Chain A
Amino acid sequence: MARRRAREAASLSRVLVLGFAGIVFWGLMFGIMFRMLSYFEAAEGIGDVLAVKLLSLIFLAFLSILLLSNIITSLTSFFLGRDLELLVAAPIDSVRVYGARLLETIVQSSWMVVLVLVPVLSAYGLTYGGSWPYIITVLITVLSYLVLPAVAGAAITLLLVNIFPARRARDLLALLALFGAAGLVVLFRLLRPEQIVRPEGFRDLVDFVAALETPGSVWLPSEWAARAVLSGLPIEHLNGDRFPLLLLASTAAAFVVLGCILHTRMYAQGFSRAQEGAELRDRTGRRTPLIEHVFGKLPITTRSLVAKDVRTFFRDTTQWSQLILLAVLVVIYIYNIKVLPLRTGEDVGFFLINVVSFLNLGLAGFVLAAISARFLFPAVSLEGRTLWLLRSSPLDLRALVWCKYWVGVTPLLLLAVSLTVGTNLILCVGTFMMILSVTTITVMTFAIGALALGFGALFPRYETDNAADISTGFGGLTFMMTAVGYLACVIVLQAWPVYSVLRARAEGAAITPAQITSLAVGLGLAAALSAAAAVIPLRAALVRLNGA
């Protein structure tokens, strides 16, 4: 009884924290969108066009994410789920199975997109005075918009599984990577972001507006969705135009029917092939595999753990398929830095570039936190079901924690330093900012890695094998909030002293002892905070594992 009460209290506090975090996120998102749209609305002529363009960009960005996410999710929901054997053996009509699994796929792969769309579309509604017709239009549009990539994703997976056994993850993912890369190229081609950020490149305003008014592509459902949503608002030339909504809804319905026909024809064979998963590894017959040669200098226990972690990571679809999204994230990140319009003005040079490079650290830190949440946070949870082996072996659990930490942090550090150095080189920053940012990002990586591993051990989810699920729970959210808090503290501690030193240098003034002192104090405090953020979570993880 006492345990149940404690569990109920814990779940209530989780709901409260999650609810609070959700409301803060929604509030922020809504505030930013509302502010931006209010500016647009005030801009006669060009404002409405920008509002349409912005929404179609948002829908387009989400469309590519949804497609990839649906392909990956439908692999599990249609072919690898544990309950499927029972379902397939049961006398259930295949249309019903398709409908149920499609719904499951949509919910699992789209809920995050819906969460982000709520404040965005609310901001549109409030800015342009939408009422009930707008809400109904939005509901129909979003539903149809979500169905399209889900049906497409399920169909692509169905075709792939009919060609390759579902468990042949490598072959499948090579194709997925190709889709990801192709999607990215198409996305950038269609976004044409340079046209929006560089209006001076057009002959005149009319050309600029004309370029903006041109739809990204008349074939893209994201464009239909944007125009369908806005048809419910009193925006000139869009109000009451029901064609995009009808086009979107009817295409979604047709997609479901076509998907269902494809499913009926190909699912049975695909499911059967998916069970033929026996996969041979290490056919070379080598006594000591390559991976163990690479880590040959490590003690045998550590070597075994590292080799096991690396192997299981690259053989697990749910683990490394996310690397495609990571690569997309990195490319977008570098691309954004490259197209920043810093050098278009006359006197932006030294100071602004250095400030951007400094702010870049915060953003890079956030990217690192997101990657850690996905790859380092689940490390302990994934070990959960096999913890019986580790705990019954003479392994010191400190070795386990250290191994997990270094296996996770080393590639993270390589990525972080390359990203920072690369973007700094693009920005042509000075030596001071280069040294400061590389040092800071290195320290941040160690701290964020430790936070992710520590929170992962404190909030384990042993019941799931899917690493992507593990980081989406309460623990993952708490980690992200703590990591963002830590990043904000480090930035705040460094911001003022760095700003004053940079300003003095930009103005050609001598740097005073007070500035040097404040710089030392700021950097010292940031280092102390980082040390605490690295040590405390790792110790907590160890205590938790020892007491589990």
Chain B
Amino acid sequence: MIRLEGVTKQYGGFTAVHPLDLHVRRGEMFGFLGPNGAGKTTTIRMIAGVLRPTAGRILIGGYDTVAEPVNAKQIVGYIPDRPTLYEKLTGAEFLRFVSGLWGRDGDAAAKRADELLDLFELTAWKDTLIESYSHGMRQKLLISSALVHSPDVIVVDEPMVGLDPKGARLIKELLRAFTAAGGTVFLSTHTLEVAEALCDRIAIFYQGRIRAMGSMDDLRNEAEAGTAGLEDIFLKLTRSEDVVELVAALRASGGVV
């Protein structure tokens, strides 16, 4: 459903993403992990059609994001990590606007927006300007907006940021139900337990390259980590074992950790 072929991104002389080949199947939940500055958000923005790759091509449902952007974007719902919304629109107006961008109109679109507002417990706030929303409410509205046009693919960067436990559980269930119904999810997160619990396959991305990819078992084998959890595998594959040692040293010295 999502296919990356030799996708590269350069900013001037700096290569953020080295040639990247990847295939995410229909109905799959794919986790994309990596430390800060690894190039995850750049990759996600390229898949969502916000950025153009410097080289290579990205196919969504068989549509090239550069050659046939309208067809490709028609089936994608994108949830960025630090979004700016239209502060002077109300929640309901924002969803109506996003529906309009995807060409959805009439009662069916309005009904879908109402259902999502209800699902995310935003109905009481739907006629309030977004500038008054809390961080969690914004995140819920943002996720609603990515679902309002019933996409086949969800591309999501840090979905749990700012959500309360109930909201986080809702998102997890929602993503599970989405993939169970044949939808595809490309998910980037720092919450490793979320990735571990939800994803069918995980890629560890580091310095613009995939270091390891596969199921949890595949990653354990690759990291020679025995029965270790994703956190240890992640730290090992991203060469951050010294972080573990540092935390241990601080604990031993009675520091703040």
Contacts and interface: CB of A to CB of B under 8 A. Distances in A.
A392 B50 contact: yes
Contact of B93 (A311, A385, A394): A311
Nearest to A314: B88
B104 A312 contact: no
Interface string B10-51: 001100000000000000000000000000000001001110
Interface in A274-303: 277-283, 287, 289, 300-301, 303
Contacts of A391: 48-50
Interface in B118-139: 127-129, 131-132
B237 to A, nearest CB: 30
A186 interface: no
A393 B72 CA distance: 9
B97 A308 contact: yes
Contact of A301 (B13, B73, B103): B103
A312 B88 CA distance: 5
Contacts of A278: 128-129, 132
Contacts of B97: 304, 307-308
B128 A394 contact: no
B178 interface: no
A2 B92 CA distance: 46
A396 B70 CA distance: 8
Nearest to A400: B101
A392 B129 contact: no
Contact of A385 (B13, B84, B92): B84
Contact of A388 (B50, B88, B100, B107): B50
B225 interface: no
Chain B contact residues, majority secondary structure: mixed
B129 A281 contact: yes
A392 B86 contact: no
Given A278-B129, A287-B110, A311-B93, A394 B103 contact: yes
Given A3-B12, A392-B49, A394-B103, A386 B85 contact: yes
B105 interface: yes
Nearest to A167: B131
A254 interface: no
B159 interface: no
B192 interface: no
Given A167-B131, A282-B127, A390 B90 contact: no
B50 to A, nearest CB: 5
Contacts of A104: none
Contact of B101 (A280, A388, A395): A395
B195 interface: no
Contacts of A113: none
Contact of A304 (B50, B78, B100, B129): B100
Interface in B98-116: 98-105, 107, 110
A130 B143 CA distance: 68
B165 interface: no
B132 A390 contact: no
A205 interface: no
A281 B101 CA distance: 22
A204 B73 CA distance: 79
Given A281-B90, A287-B110, A390 B101 contact: yes
A389 interface: yes
Interface centre among B48, B98, B127, B145 (most CB of A within 10 A): B127
B254 interface: no
B83 interface: yes
A505 interface: no
Interface in B62-102: 69-71, 73-74, 76, 78, 80, 83-86, 88-90, 92-93, 96-102
B129 A315 contact: yes
Contacts of B105: 300
A316 interface: yes
Nearest to A390: B101
Interface centre among B85, B96, B145 (most CB of A within 10 A): B96
A2 B100 contact: no
A316 B99 CA distance: 23
A303 B89 CA distance: 15
A544 B50 CA distance: 14
Contacts of B99: 304
Given A308-B86, A308-B89, A394 B127 contact: no
B102 to A, nearest CB: 6
Contacts of A289: 93
B88 A316 contact: yes
Nearest to B75: A394
Nearest to A304: B100
A406 B72 CA distance: 28
A281 B13 contact: no
A392 B186 CA distance: 15
Given A2-B12, A281-B128, A386-B86, A300 B48 contact: no
A394 B12 contact: no
A409 B84 CA distance: 27
Interface in A239-292: 277-283, 287, 289
Interface string A300-335: 110111011001100110000000000000000000
A309 to B, nearest CB: 10
A302 to B, nearest CB: 9
Given A280-B128, A391-B50, 10 more contacts: A279-B129, A280-B127, A300-B100, A301-B100, A311-B93, A316-B88, A385-B84, A388-B50, A390-B101, A394-B70
Interface of B: 12-13, 45, 48-50, 52, 69-71, 73-74, 76, 78, 80, 83-86, 88-90, 92-93, 96-105, 107, 110, 127-129, 131-132, 145
22 contacts: A2-B12, A3-B13, A280-B127, A282-B127, A287-B107, A289-B93, A301-B100, A304-B96, A304-B97, A305-B101, A385-B84, A388-B45, A388-B50, A389-B83, A389-B101, A391-B48, A391-B49, A393-B101, A394-B69, A394-B73, A394-B103, A396-B70
Interface of A: 1-3, 167, 277-283, 287, 289, 300-301, 303-305, 307-308, 311-312, 315-316, 385-396, 547
Closest 3 CB pairs between A and B?
Answer: A304-B100, A385-B84, A315-B88
